């Protein structure tokens, strides 16, 4: 029986090759996208799930509520772990993970002839304790990692670093120098960190060495935290998380100072949330919102849905052609169930073909997707049970969804009327449903178009919004910590190039991920404020270099330490000063009373971080020891020459270091990487949805035209114009687009308003977006319809009438 | 074999009510060859469809193999159809996607006849209908007469007790028409009961008995060979 079904199915498909290929291509496109999205979602959900203790592993976070709003951080005070080990034995194994975001590495040679080789790394170098390997199950390839970093100044290299630094050599026993401050002995080579971990180390260094590399780490106060200093631990089986959390807070409350009215709590964040909770950063520098994953899943579903709808539409439209076959089979005694099974297996066959194609497409496209999303996803169905299962589910669901209704329609034909073939029942079959489905397709397409336009628009806004300072043609060059003076001495040489317009030494550019927050006192110092201000450190050329306008007063004078201050407009609003002139000359104290000075200037507000965040109160001052960057405004058209010049001078100041730089606008663009990727995905998938929809529409219309050839012929004989013939077919679809628009507009308005709420600075959703999307869909639909309708309109009416 | 008592059939479509059959009382015996004749639109096909269990009467009784079946469900009728009935239509109604062989095989598949027996029975009936040499052709590749022979082969391959034919020669020229009638006649001699609708008096001559229908009523019957009854 099945053989007979398949034979008939294959022959039917071949006979209707046009429709079959429309169906197969549409389905294959839809399934390809859903498969790729499945891989992406699965990858994101797999982060750090492979550790055997993953389900009871936590990270310690700090949640604080201030007048500026909630502040969340994954940083911990440096003495905390010792306290935990002494008083909370159920938190075990526990380890520090200290992240130094890259650094300069010098490979010391074993003889005097070769010069040392230098490398610059930008990704995490993790400083960990031996317990790290009790807690996490990273692949070590037989190396006893616990033992390898037991001693101070030891390092485990990953495979790719080992190959880069020691090509063709055995690195074990060799020495590399980090940031020109510490020599590390290589004790082993381990595989690269897996792609799905938020601890993406390039090297693992013993924790003690971090104290030499980073001066923050020697701080033994409970009052400061540093976000790159994190604690991970496993909770003993059966122990209560809340009890342990309470106890830690109880102990800590006795050890740390408390600001008045401050709400402060250490919380245990499950490892499984580290990848998703965007309130805290992770060492991957990337969290994924779970709603984004849901949205991607939904889009995948949508695409398959749109493709399946094509299927239902084309199949029901074709039902008439098959009425005779159905009728005859029924006369011969086929039951309804048998017929349904036959048509379902036909659908299953098409889906299977589409499925095979989509696996091929997916393999082809995956590298591009990886590149776009900066991921390292791999798959092979042969060894991947989950993917195989996913495809099986898709096969069954699509077959049932796409095949069930057409099968029902076909098998429901009455044998006599079906045999009469011109059966009106067959013609009427499924027309209302077909319309509803076309509306659904248009709705999905329009939602995607509207979302794409809005996301794109917001991205444009990110790029073009005035940040309150110039970000174009500004080069940011890191300065080795504590050594700014060496370069400052060369300022005349640095600026002695026609392409260098202005330059400033500073902690960081105006918009930056690096910031100092400090408590402060204003004017008479009597008012205690429970919020902090952002302390921007930069020399007297800061405003000029970034073109930040001054509202009142003057720029502070050159100084090596904090002496004079400038503040921004938000600061004035916070302290309740209306007129900028009023603030001039007022006393200000920062750093817990360590630095006092006068306000000499007020600057116009500029953005401190991404446009997601509000502008904080800012206090600006000078302090040479905090100058970690050298920022240069150059002539864009002579960037190459300017950079060469800067590198030359820079290298004379720091002969042991590696010169590198970033363009400020690139750094700022990176704030929106996540959104940029979303925008890209949206664009790609809307285009695909539209293509799939058009394929279906094209098939449907060509079918309708074929069915109405005779009608068109008669109308033309009676003198109808080609335009009126096209109108005949277009009218219906235009109405459907309109209905879809009425459904799509509110849905997309609602979801996009929600999305935009994440950004403090955002576009308004203009009505033009909806009109444009509606018009675009209408245009696409009518073009698709017209292509077919015109064929009918221009055909010879005599020929059309003869064929009947 | 079958018997109808006061059979009525009305079609109702939007306000308009057509009475296709009025009080039809018909009795067909085992082994009979019956022809139904009458002007176009008098209800011949309607009657044949009811006899063929493709349609239900509006009222009246219908006995098939001594069972009153006018109220049978579609599924029950489908079962009776595939076991006991064979159909031949004016327009052949072969399935275009299937070869001659596969078309003839189809009823046996629905009857779940085993592979070997199926093959043997299909071959046999193809030989009998003199169409075996075309077994791998598709319907469109055959002449009308050949197509109708395939249709008859398909109708009789399941060895039905009753063969129903609606204008089996309607689409054929007279030479091919005679060929088909010859076949039907042979089948009847071998024991198959046949009810045939026809417009052609020549065809009707092959039957034992002719029923004349007019406006849904039987107006006359003439029995040709009393001896057979
Ligand atoms: N599905 C239907 N709906 C409504 N009326 C119908 C339907 N089928 C048949 N009729 C009507 O019933 C009557 C009998 O039709 P039927 O097809 O039985 O005639 P016929 O004798 O077979 O005619 P012909 O020789 O032309 O085939 C006709 O008046 C026809 O219009
Ligand atoms: Mg008829």
Q: A628, A656, A684: which is the final residue of a domain? A: A656
Same domain, A497 and A451: no
**Contact pairs from chain A to chain B, CB under 8 Å:** 63
Same domain, A616 and A520: yes
Higher confidence at residue A405 or residue A752?
Answer: A752
For residue A467, is it within any domain?
Answer: no
Distance from CA of residue A159 to its chain's centroid?
A: 28
Q: Do B95 and A329 count as a contact with CB atoms less than 8 A apart? A: yes
Task: Quote the ligand 1 centre to A115 CA distance (angstroms).
Answer: 104
Q: How far is CA A747 from CA A476, A744, A751, in A?
A: 43, 5, 6
Tokens linked to A482: 């504590």
pLDDT of amino acid B227: 41
3-state secondary structure of B12: strand
pLDDT tens, A73-125?
888 888 899 999 999 999 989 999 999 988 889 998 887 777 888 898 989 99
Nearest CA, atom 6, ligand 1: B11
- Show residues of chain B in contact with A333, CB under 8 Å: 78-79, 81-83, 107, 110-111
Mean pLDDT throughout A704-728?
A: 75
* A469 domain-assigned: no
Our mutation pick for probing the ligand 1 site, out of B19, B46, B199, B211, counting the most ligand atoms within 8 A of Cβ, is: B46
**A48 in any annotated domain:** no
Nearest to A776 by CA among A314, A305, A452, A298: A452
- Of these ranges, A295-299, A427-431, A715-719, A800-804, the one predicted with the greatest mean pLDDT is A295-299
- Is the pLDDT confidence value at A340 over 70? yes
What residues are in contact with ligand 1 under a 6 Å CB criterion? B 11, 13, 18, 20, 40-46
pLDDT of amino acid A30? 92
* A454 and A500 belong to one structural domain: no
Percent of chain B with pLDDT over 90: 36
Same domain, A67 and A162: yes
Judge whether A333 is closer than 8 Å to chain B, CB to CB.
Answer: yes
Verify that A503 and A580 share a domain, yes or no: yes
* Cβ under 8 Å to A: B residues 79-138: 79, 81-83, 87, 89, 93-98, 102, 105-107, 109-111
Q: A427 pLDDT exceeds 60?
A: no
Q: Residue A717: name the closest of A630, A796, A602, A614 by CA.
A: A796
Q: Residue A521 has what pLDDT?
A: 84
Establish whether this prediction's ipTM goes over 0.85: no
Helix (H, G, I), strand (E, B) or coil at B138: coil
* CA B208, B213, B217, B220 torsion-angle sign: negative
- The beta-carbon neighbor of A332 closest among B55, B96, B107 is B107
pLDDT of residue A423: 45
Contacts of A334 in chain B (CB under 8 A): 78, 82, 110
Sign of CA dihedral A512, A513, A518, A519: positive
Is the CB of A332 less than 8 angstroms away from the CB of B106?
Answer: yes
Number of the ligand closest to the Cα of B11: 1
> Residues 189 to 228 of B: which have CB under 8 A from any A CB?
none
* Contacts of the segment A90-93: beta carbons below 8 A, 24+ positions apart: A90/A235, A90/A236, A90/A239, A90/A244, A91/A233, A91/A234, A91/A235, A91/A236, A91/A244, A92/A233, A92/A234, A92/A236, A93/A131, A93/A134, A93/A135, A93/A233, A93/A234
Is B63 within the bounds of a domain? no
Q: Is residue A737 part of a domain?
A: yes
Number of domains in chain B: 1
- Contact: B109, A335; criterion CB under 8 Å: no
Sign, Cα dihedral of B67, B69, B72, B75: positive
CB distance B98–A338 less than 8 Å?
A: no
Which of B83, B97, B102 has its CB closest to that of A12? Answer: B97
Does residue B165 form part of some domain? yes
Residues 309-328 of A with CB under 8 A from B: 324-325, 327-328
Residue A99 lies in a domain: yes
The 10 Å Cβ neighbour count of residue A119 is: 14
- Which residue of B95, B98, B103 is the best one to mutate when testing the A interface, meaning the one whose CB has the most A CBs within 10 A? B95
**Least confidently predicted of A121-135, A522-536, A759-773, B76-90:** A522-536
Position A477 scores a pLDDT of: 94
Question: What's the pLDDT tens digit per position in A564-593?
Answer: 999 999 999 988 899 999 999 999 988 767
List Cβ neighbours of A679 (8 Å cut-off, separation of 6 or more).
A452, A455, A456, A459
Q: Which residues neighbour A137 within 8 Å (Cβ) at sequence distance 6 or greater?
A: A50, A51, A52, A53
* Contact (Cβ atoms closer than 8 angstroms) between residue A386 and residue A392: no
Closest C-alpha to ligand 1, atom 25:
B40
Q: Give the total number of structural domains in chain A.
A: 3
Q: What is the CA radius of gyration of chain A?
A: 34
Q: What is the 3-class SS of A18-67, one letter each residue?
A: HHHHHHHHHHHHHHHHHHHHHHHHHHHHCCCCCCCCHHHEEEEEEEEEEC
Do A37 and A81 lie in one domain? The reply is no
The CATH number given to whatever domain includes residue B202 is 3.40.50.300
Structure token pair of residue B118:
């199926």
- Which tens digit of pLDDT belongs to each residue from B149-196? 999 999 989 889 999 999 998 888 888 889 889 989 999 999 999 999
Q: How far is CA A461 from CA A332, A676, A772, B20, in A?
A: 68, 12, 19, 75
Percent of chain A, pLDDT > 90?
Answer: 44
The answer to whether position A468 is within a domain reads no
pLDDT over 80 (residue A538): yes
In angstroms, what is the span from residue A422 Cα to ligand 2's centroid? Answer: 15
Q: What are phi and psi of A609, to 5 degrees?
A: -150, -155
Q: Which helix (H) or strand (E) holds A154?
A: strand A154-158
At A436, the pLDDT band (50, 70, 90 cuts) reads confident
In a domain, B149, yes or no: yes
- Across the interface, do B54 and A1 touch by the CB < 8 Å criterion? no
Q: What digits encode the pLDDT tens for the residues A175-192? A: 999 988 899 999 999 999
SS3 A702: helix
Nearest to A574 by CA among A564, A583, A565: A583
pLDDT digits (tens, 9 = 90+) for A467-511: 999 999 999 998 887 788 899 999 999 999 999 999 999 999 999
Closest-CA residue of chain B to A16: B97
Cβ-contact B34, B28 below 8 angstroms: yes
Q: Is residue A681 domain-shared with residue A643, that is, in the same domain?
A: no
Q: Which of A210, A240, A273 is the last residue of a domain?
A: A273
User: Looking at residue A531, what is its pLDDT?
Assistant: 73
Number of helical (H) and strand (E) elements in chain B, helices listed first: 7, 10
Tokens 């079962």: give the residue: B79
Question: A360: how many CB neighbours lie within 10 A of its CB?
Answer: 12
The residue range of the domain holding B149 is 32-56+76-228
Tell me the C-alpha distance between B177 and A492, whole Å.
Answer: 112
Residues A649, A678, single domain; the answer is: no
Residue A67 shares a structural domain with residue A159: yes
A325 → chain B, closest CA residue: B95
Q: B97 and A335: CB-CB below 8 Å?
A: no
A233 and A360 fall within a common domain: no
CA separation for the pair A130, A151 (Å, rounded): 10
3-state helix, strand, coil in chain B (%, to 5): 40, 30, 35
Q: Which atom of ligand 1 is nearest to the CA of B199?
A: 25
What is the B18 CA–ligand 1 centroid distance (Å)?
9
Which residue's CA is the nearest one to ligand 1's atom 5? B11
- Tell me the C-alpha distance between A503 and A544, whole Å: 8
Burial of A236 (0-12, 13-18, 19+ CB in 10 A): middle
Structural domain boundaries enclosing A606:
481-656
Name the nearest CA neighbour of A204 among A248, A140, A251, A285.
A140
Q: Is A7 on the interface with B (CB under 8 A)?
A: yes
Give the pLDDT confidence of A367-388 residue by residue, as tens digits: 998 988 888 888 877 788 899 9
Question: Percent of chain A at pLDDT above 70?
Answer: 95
Index of the ligand 1 atom closest to the CA of residue B12: 4
How many other CB atoms are found less than 10 A from the CB of residue B128?
18
B-chain residues near A17 (CB < 8 A): none
**A7 to B111: CB separation less than 8 angstroms, yes or no:** no
pLDDT at A406 over 70: yes
Test B49 with A416 for CB contact under 8 angstroms: yes
Distance of CA A717 from the midpoint of ligand 1 (Å) = 32
Within this chain, do residues A410 and A497 fall inside the same structural domain, yes or no?
Answer: no
How would you class A3 by CB atoms within 10 Å of its CB: exposed for 0-12, middle for 13-18, buried for 19 or more? exposed
Interface contact flag, B74 A336, Cβ < 8 Å = yes
Is A378 in contact with A43 (CB distance < 8 Å)?
Answer: no
The crossing angle, in degrees rounded to 10, of helices A767-794 and A722-756 is: 160
| Bond preceding residue A93 cis, omega within 30 of 0 | yes
Q: Give the DSSP letter string of B156-168.
A: HTT--SEEEEEST
Query: What integer best gives the mean pLDDT of chain A?
Result: 87
Q: Which residues surround ligand 2, an ion (CB under 5 A)?
A: B 45
Whether A419 has a pLDDT exceeding 80, the answer reads: no
B75 in contact with A, Cβ within 8 Å:
yes
DSSP state of B208: S
Per the model's pLDDT, the better-predicted residue between A553 and A416 turns out to be: A553
Give a yes or no: residue B22 inside a domain: no
Name the residue with tokens 């209408």: A778
Q: Flag whether residue A335 sits within 8 Å of chain B, measured between CB atoms.
A: yes
pLDDT at A804: 36
The reported pLDDT for the residue numbered B228 is: 42
Residue B163 within a domain: yes
Does A46 map to a domain?
no
The residues that bridge with B88 in the sheet, in sequence order, are B165
Tokens encoding B172: 């054929």
**pLDDT band at residue B226 using 50, 70 and 90 as cut-offs:** very low
φ and ψ of A415, to 5 deg: -60, -40
Mean pLDDT of A191-220: 87
Three-class SS of A195-247: CCCCCCCCEEEEHHHHHHHCHHHHCCCCCCCECCEEEEEEECCCCCHHHHHHH
**Residue B112, C-beta contacts closer than 8 angstroms, at least 6 positions apart:** none
Q: Examine the domain organization and report whether A206 and A344 are in the same domain.
A: no
């Amino acid at each position: 029986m099945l053989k007979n079904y398949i034979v008939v199915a294959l022959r039917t498909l071949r006979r209707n090759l046009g429709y079959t290929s429309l169906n197969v291509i549409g389905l294959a496109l839809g399934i390809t996208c859903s498969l790729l999205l499945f891989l992406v979602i699965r990858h994101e959900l797999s982060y750090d799930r492979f550790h055997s203790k993953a389900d009871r592993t936590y990270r310690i976070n700090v949640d604080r509520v201030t007048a500026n709003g909630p502040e969340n951080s994954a940083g911990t005070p440096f003495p905390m772990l010792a306290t935990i080990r002494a008083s909370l034995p159920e938190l075990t194994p526990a380890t520090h993970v200290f992240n130094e975001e890259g650094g300069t590495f010098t490979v010391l040679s074993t003889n005097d002839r070769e010069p040392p080789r230098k490398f610059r790394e930008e990704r995490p170098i993790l400083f960990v304790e031996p317990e790290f390997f009790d807690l996490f199950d990273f692949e070590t390839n037989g190396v006893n990692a616990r033992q390898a970093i037991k001693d101070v100044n030891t390092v485990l290299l990953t495979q790719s670093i080992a190959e880069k630094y020691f090509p063709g050599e055995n690195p074990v026993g060799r020495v590399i120098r980090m940031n020109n401050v510490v020599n590390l002995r290589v004790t082993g080579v381990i595989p690269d960190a897996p792609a799905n971990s938020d601890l993406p180390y390039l090297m693992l260094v013993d924790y003690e060495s971090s104290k030499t590399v980073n001066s923050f780490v020697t701080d033994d106060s409970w009052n400061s935290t540093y976000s790159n200093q994190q604690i991970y631990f496993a909770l003993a089986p059966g122990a209560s998380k809340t009890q342990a959390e309470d106890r830690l807070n109880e102990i800590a409350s006795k050890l740390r100072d408390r600001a008045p009215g401050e709400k402060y709590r250490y919380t245990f964040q499950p490892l499984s949330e580290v990848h998703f909770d965007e309130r805290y950063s992770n060492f991957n520098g990337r969290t994924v919102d779970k709603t984004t994953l849901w949205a991607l899943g939904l889009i995948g579903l949508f695409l398959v849905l749109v493709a399946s709808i094509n299927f239902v539409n084309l199949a029901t439209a074709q039902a008439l052609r098959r009425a005779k076959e159905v009728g005859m089979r029924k006369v011969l005694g086929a039951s309804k169930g048998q017929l349904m099974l036959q048509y379902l297996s036909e659908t299953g066959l098409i889906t299977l073909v589409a499925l095979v194609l989509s696996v091929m497409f997916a393999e082809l496209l995956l590298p591009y997707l990886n590149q776009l999303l900066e991921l390292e996803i791999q798959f092979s169905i042969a060894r991947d049970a989950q993917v195989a299962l996913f495809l099986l589910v898709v096969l069954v669901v699509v077959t049932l969804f796409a095949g069930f209704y057409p099968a029902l329609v076909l098998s429901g034909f009455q044998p006599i009327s079906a045999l009469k073939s011109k059966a009106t029942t067959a013609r009427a079959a499924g027309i209302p449903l077909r319309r509803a489905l076309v509306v659904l397709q248009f709705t999905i397409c329009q939602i995607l178009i509207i979302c794409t336009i809005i996301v794109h628009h917001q991205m444009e806004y990110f790029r073009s919004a005035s940040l309150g300072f110039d970000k174009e043609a500004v080069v940011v060059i890191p300065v080795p910590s504590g050594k700014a003076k060496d370069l400052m001495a060369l300022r005349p040489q640095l600026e002695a190039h026609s392409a260098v317009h202005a330059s400033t030494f500073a902690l960081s550019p105006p918009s930056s991920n690096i910031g100092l927050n400090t408590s402060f006192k204003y004017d008479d110092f009597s008012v205690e404020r429970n919020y902090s201000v952002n302390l921007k450190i930069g020399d007297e050329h800061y405003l000029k270099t970034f073109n930040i306008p001054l509202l009142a007063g003057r720029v502070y004078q050159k100084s090596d330490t904090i002496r004079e201050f400038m503040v921004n407009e938000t600061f004035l609003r916070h302290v309740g000063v209306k007129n900028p002139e009023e603030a001039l000359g007022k006393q200000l104290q920062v750093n817990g009373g360590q630095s006092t000075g006068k306000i000499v200037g007020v600057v116009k507000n500029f953005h401190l971080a991404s446009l997601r965040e509000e502008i904080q109160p800012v206090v600006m001052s000078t302090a040479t020891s905090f100058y970690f960057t050298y920022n240069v405004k150059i002539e864009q058209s002579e960037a190459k020459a300017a950079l060469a010049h800067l590198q030359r001078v820079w290298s004379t100041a720091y002969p042991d270091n590696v010169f590198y730089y970033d363009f400020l606008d690139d750094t700022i663009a990176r704030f929106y990487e996540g959104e940029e990727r979303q925008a890209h995905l949206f664009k790609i998938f809307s285009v695909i949805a539209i293509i799939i929809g058009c394929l279906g529409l094209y098939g449907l219309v060509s079918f309708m035209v074929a069915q109405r050839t005779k009608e068109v012929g008669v109308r033309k004989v009676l003198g109808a114009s080609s335009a009126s013939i096209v109108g005949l077919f277009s009218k219906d679809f235009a109405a459907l687009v309109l209905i879809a628009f009425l459904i799509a507009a509110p849905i997309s308005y609602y979801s996009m308003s929600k999305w935009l709420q994440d950004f403090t600075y955002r576009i308004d959703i203009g009505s033009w977006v909806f009109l444009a999307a509606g018009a675009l869909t209408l245009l696409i639909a009518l073009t698709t319809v017209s292509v077919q309708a015109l064929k009918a309109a221009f055909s010879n009416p005599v020929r059309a009438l003869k064929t009947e | 074999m079958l018997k109808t008592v006061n059979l009525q059939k009305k079609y109702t479509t939007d306000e308009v009510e057509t009475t296709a059959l009025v009080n039809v009382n018909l009795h067909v015996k085992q082994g009979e060859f019956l022809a139904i004749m009458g002007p176009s639109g008098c209800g011949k096909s309607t009657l044949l469809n009811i006899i063929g269990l493709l349609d239900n009467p509006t009222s009246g009784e219908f006995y098939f193999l001594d069972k009153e079946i006018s109220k049978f469900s579609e599924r029950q009728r489908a079962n009776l159809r595939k076991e006991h009935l064979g159909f031949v239509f004016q327009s052949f109604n072969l399935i275009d996607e299937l070869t001659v062989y596969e078309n003839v095989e189809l009823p046996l598949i629905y009857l779940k006849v085993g592979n070997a027996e199926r093959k043997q029975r299909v071959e046999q009936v193809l030989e009998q209908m003199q169409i075996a040499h075309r077994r791998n052709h598709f319907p469109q590749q055959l002449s009308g007469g050949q197509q109708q022979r395939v249709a008859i082969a398909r109708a009789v391959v399941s060895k039905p007790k009753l063969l129903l034919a609606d204008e089996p020669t309607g689409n054929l020229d007279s030479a091919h028409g005679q060929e088909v009638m010859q076949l039907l006649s042979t089948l009847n001699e071998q024991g198959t009961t046949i009810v045939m609708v026809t417009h052609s008096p020549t065809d009707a001559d092959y039957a034992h008995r002719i029923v004349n229908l007019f406006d849904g009523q039987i107006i006359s019957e003439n029995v040709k060979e009393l001896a057979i009854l």
